Amino acid sequence: MRLLLISNSTNAGEAYLDYPKHEIKDFLGDIKKILFIPYAAVTFSFDEYQQKVQERFSELGIEVDSIHHYNPKQKREAIQNAEAIVVGGGNTFNLLKLMQQQDLIEIIRYECLKGKPYVGWSAGSNVTCPTICTTNDMPIVEPDSFHAINLVRFQINPHYLDANPDGHAGETREQRIEEYLEANPYNYVVGLRESSMLRVDDAEVRLIGPKKARIFKKGMEPKELGPGDDFDFLFE
Q: Catalytic residue numbers?
A: 122, 137, 159
Q: β-strand 63-66 against 220-225: which pairing, if any? A: unpaired
In this structure, are residues 99 and 39 in contact, taking their beta carbons and an 8 Å threshold? yes
Q: How deeply is 103 buried, as exposed, middle or buried, from its count of CB atoms within 10 A (0-12, 13-18, 19+)?
A: exposed
DSSP string of 76-132? HHHHHH-S-EEE--S-HHHHHHHHHHTT-HHHHHHHHHTT--EEEETHHHHTTSSBS
What does residue 54 show for φ and ψ, rounded to 5 degrees? -60, -40
In Å, the largest CA–CA distance within the chain is: 51
